[in-house]
Amino acid sequence: MFDAKAYSAASSTSPLASSTIPRREPTERDVQIEILYCGICHSDLHYVRDEWHSVMPAVYPCVPGHEIVGRVTRVGAEVTRFKAGDLAGVGCLVDSDHSCPSCQEGLEQFCQDMTMTYGSPDKQLGGVTYGGYSESIVVDERFVLRVPANLNLAGVAPLLCAGITTYSPMRHWKVGKGQKVGVVGLGGLGHMGVKFAHALGARVVVFTTSPGKKEDALRLGADEVVISRNPEEMLKHVGTFDFILDTVAAHHDINAYIHLLKRDGNITLVGAPEKALEVSAFSLIFGRRSLSGSPIGGLAETQEMLDFCGAHNITADVEVIPIQRVNEAYERLLKADVKYRFSIDMSSLKSE
Ligand code: NAP
Ligand code: ZN
């Protein structure tokens, strides 16, 4: 065991602050990574403030962060895919049972016994796992991703959660040429959703509550932007969408979007607001429309997404901050004031 510097929260009302956490010595199959950048996901904020208490109660002290990119510093004797000096990525998962039907299909995100990067029981050290707001992490090589060499690393980090969470449902619902696709909310997930839908060849419409994001949405790949608070603009699109991805982090009216789907269209929720959303049965019944959810993605698909990003030169648009500004970043996230993901430069932790 060794100590690593980290930023942790002591309770749901405490700010994140400098601390140290234990990390295990790498075992035969482990990779130790020096973390270079870690994205700030809205899930980090939900978790730290215990907003998901009923589903995933927070355990304190907690160290969030599951959009991790870094450089391998040490590997165990049986590690074959990585060596010291390689770039490496870690997302929301660090282990699973490897034997259930989901794991056998490469869908580790559905494993009943998966270990999340933070807040899950730590099977080696006891206590809970600690995430990427830290100088290093030790992970089983099966949960470590290869990072394309041509991409900007600060912008790669968010691909490990925001990227795969938007890529996976688009692949599942076969987003492609000839389709009209909506993306609701232009934040960390939403802006990645726009980039992927555009790269997959769909016609993309962004729904935003922030009129100031219109120009950016077009630059990111949208063909059209709708200010969702304007009912007239919304009405123009009734019954026209093949697929809509809803990335909104707060309570909102999803029926307004279900109406916009064509017959047999699907809306997938990836945003995870604290409180339940109301669904009108009629908006689903008329048109045989469907409502789904989707969690992150499995390891194989996450690698596919990273390779797709390498081939299409896709990264997140990031505002790089030192770890010392993380609490301020959380407040700005709540105001939808980030273009479009905070990425923490972890070298800033050295001065703590
Ligand atoms: P984010 O960067 O804060 O973006 C959320 C966006 O939602 C905002 O930029 C804003 O876009 C819109 N929004 C915020 N408040 C709103 C409101 N009251 N009404 C309507 N729109 C509102 O968050 P994120 O990191 O992308 O995460 C989004 C959600 O996905 C969070 O709940 C997060 O926990 C969840 N998530 C789920 C998964 C999964 O596996 N399913 C993975 C990661 C994250 P506009 O300014 O354009 O309106
Ligand atoms: Zn996330």
Q: DSSP for 190-234, please give it.
A: HHHHHHHHHHTT-EEEEEES-GGGHHHHHHHT-SEEEETT-HHHH
Q: Which ligand number lies closest to the CA of residue 165?
A: 1
Instruction: Note the pLDDT of residue 286.
Output: 93
Residue type, 264: D
The atom of ligand 1 lying closest to the CA of 334 is: 3
**Ligand 1: centre distance to CA 3 (Å):** 34
**Mean pLDDT, to the nearest integer, of 213-232?**
97
pLDDT band at 288 (very low <50, low <70, confident <90, very high): very high
Q: Which ligand number lies closest to the CA of residue 117?
A: 2
Cα 341 to Cα 318: distance, rounded to the nearest angstrom? 5
**Ligand 2: centre distance to CA 165 (Å):** 8
Q: Which residues of 84-111 are buried (b: 16+ CB within 10 A; e: fewer)?
A: eebbbbbbbbbbbeeebebbeeebbbeb
Instruction: Note the pLDDT of residue 236.
Output: 97
> Burial level of 336, CB count in 10 A (0-12/13-18/19+)?
buried
CA dist 123 to 119, 193, 341, Å?
Answer: 12, 34, 31
The atom of ligand 1 lying closest to the CA of 293 is: 41
**Ligand 2: centre distance to CA 64 (Å):** 10
* Residue 152 backbone dihedrals phi, psi, to 5 degrees: -70, 125
Instruction: Note the pLDDT of residue 206.
Output: 98
**Ligand 2: centre distance to CA 119 (Å):** 13
Q: Which ligand number lies closest to the CA of residue 297?
A: 1
Q: Given the structure tokens 């004797």, which residue do they identify?
A: 77
**Ligand 1: centre distance to CA 163 (Å):** 13
The atom of ligand 1 lying closest to the CA of 40 is: 25
Contact 69, 147 (CB under 8 A): yes
Residue minimizing CA distance to atom 17 of ligand 1: 250
* Residue 180 backbone dihedrals phi, psi, to 5 degrees: -105, 120
Residue minimizing CA distance to atom 12 of ligand 1: 185
pTM for this predicted structure? 0.97
Per the model's pLDDT, the better-predicted residue between 319 and 55 turns out to be 319
Cα 324 to Cα 17: distance, rounded to the nearest angstrom? 8
**Ligand 1: centre distance to CA 148 (Å):** 27
pLDDT band at 247 (very low <50, low <70, confident <90, very high): very high
**Mean pLDDT, to the nearest integer, of 176-205?**
98
Mutation to probe ligand 1, out of 48, 228, 270, 319 (largest number of atoms < 8 A from CB): 270
Instruction: Note the pLDDT of residue 277.
Output: 96
Cα 46 to Cα 115: distance, rounded to the nearest angstrom? 18
Residue minimizing CA distance to atom 31 of ligand 1: 249
**Ligand 2: centre distance to CA 181 (Å):** 22
Start-to-end Cα distance in the chain = 21
Contact 161, 66 (CB under 8 A): yes
Cα 275 to Cα 277: distance, rounded to the nearest angstrom? 7
**Ligand 2: centre distance to CA 272 (Å):** 10
The atom of ligand 1 lying closest to the CA of 338 is: 2
Q: How many CB atoms sit inside 10 A of residue 188's CB?
A: 31
Which residues does a 6 A CB cutoff place in the pocket of ligand 1? 41-43, 46, 161-162, 165, 185-190, 208-210, 213, 247-250, 252, 270-273, 294-296, 333, 336
Residue type, 90: V
Q: What is the mean pLDDT of the chain?
A: 97
Q: Which residues of 142-155 are buried (b: 16+ CB within 10 A; e: fewer)?
A: bbbbebbeebebbb
Instruction: Note the pLDDT of residue 243.
Output: 98
Digit-coded pLDDT (tens) for 74-102: 999 999 999 999 999 999 999 999 999 99
Instruction: Note the pLDDT of residue 92.
Output: 98
Residue minimizing CA distance to atom 34 of ligand 1: 43
